[in-house]
Amino acid sequence: MTTIENDLFLRALLKQPVERTPVWMMRQAGRYLPEYRATRAKAGSFMQLCTNPELACEVTLQPLERFGFDAAILFSDILTIPDAMGLGLSFAEGEGPQFAHPIRTADDVKRLPIPDPETELRYVVDAVRLIKTNLRNRLPLIGFSGSPWTLATYMVEGKGSKSFQKVKSMMFEEPALMHQMLDKLAQAVAAYLNAQIAAGADAVMLFDTWGGMLSHDDYLEFSLRYARQVRELLNTQRDGRQIPTILFTKGGGLWLETMADTGYDALGLDWQTDIANARARVGAKVALQGNMDPITLYAKPEVIRAKVGKILHDFGHGTGHVFNLGHGILPDIAPEHVKAMVDAVREFSPQYHAAD
């Protein structure tokens, strides 16, 4: 079994003793870094960057060199699966992702293939292999996918949405069709994550970005049900090591107890969820990841340090916490403010692990 030099992140996810709280950041490889912007310019477009394993590896490693995060996360996009299903993904400048062939009918759903990760998504799996080689077992690598529900929202709407009128209409008026689509997506997501694990990912995360815009009953039926199905299909053992799993539903604070019963090792928390309350609610069942408000990083370094200290204090003593933002970093954040956050976690957190 290969040893990873800094395995704090993996140990915290599995609620094993750690010397300090590990820290990484959603979208840590991104537009707030000048070196990322240079690589993106070299690639020519966001999609060309995503589909080039060498450049995807390059930007994955960039924030590790600058900040010393405790984990790398694969540079990719959550919409790679629908693109591989033939929906024609593109990114219009300033408008976000768009699909040329959105899903609107029963025939559209019937025609959806389940992509083979080693063919249609080979560029992602190759990127995982290349990143693992370049990490040289210094840090763990996180693989990820969008959740079935979140992928469905983009596939039916054809782009991002504020009201989600088209996808909710399908859900309300044709629930059997929506379930058929979500079942296909769950199979595709599980195959994709399993391929990332086989290629070397040391942990995997499911991003349920839009689960929080559903009502209570609809969340359980159309989002969490399929997150659970993905988890049941995952191969979470490789070379004698357990591969930890993380479920993150933005706006999911209402459902933490139910989410904790789905089999994932950790839950991501958005910034609207009180971390002390969340820990009390889930107990020892799962680890927690989060959950500083991304907007905090616009503040002065002393404010950032105080906010970090408050979150660490509120989680309290013991393992089972991975420090992160409550969502992705925004593109115009100053890199030195990220450094202030990381340095504060490293400075303040050991006191909470003294007897671990």
The values of phi and psi at residue 185, to 5°, are -65, -40
Q: Is 30 annotated in some ligand binding site? A: yes
Q: Which residue from 344, 252, 338 is spatially nearest to 294, judged by alpha carbons?
A: 338
Tell me the C-alpha distance between 273 and 277, whole Å.
8
Nearest 10 degrees: Cα torsion 248, 249, 250, 255: -120
Distance CA 190, CA 231 (A): 7
Measured in whole angstroms, the distance separating CA 209 from the mean position of its chain's CA atoms is 9
Which H, E and C letters describe 137-178, residue by residue?
A: CCCCEEEEEECHHHHHHHHHHCECCCCCHHHHHHHHHCHHHH
209 labeled binding residue: yes
Q: Report the distance separating Cα 124 and Cα 80, nearest Å.
A: 9
Active site residue 154: yes
Question: Which residue in 11, 40, 228, 305 is the catalytic one?
Answer: 40
27: annotated active-site residue: yes
> Is 192 part of any known ligand binding site?
no
Q: Is 242 annotated as a binding residue?
A: no
Q: Is 31 a catalytic residue?
A: yes
d(CA 199, CA 51) in angstroms, rounded, equals 16
Q: Which of 175, 187, 108 is nearest to 145 (CA)?
A: 187
> Exactly one of 7, 70, 77, 202 is catalytic; which is it?
77
Q: Residue 16 annotated as binding? A: no
Give the C-alpha separation, 279 to 287, whole Å.
8
Which residue ranges make up the annotated binding site? 27-31, 77, 154, 209, 327
Residues with catalytic roles: 27, 31, 40, 77, 154
Which residue ranges make up the annotated binding site for substrate? 27-31, 77, 154, 209, 327
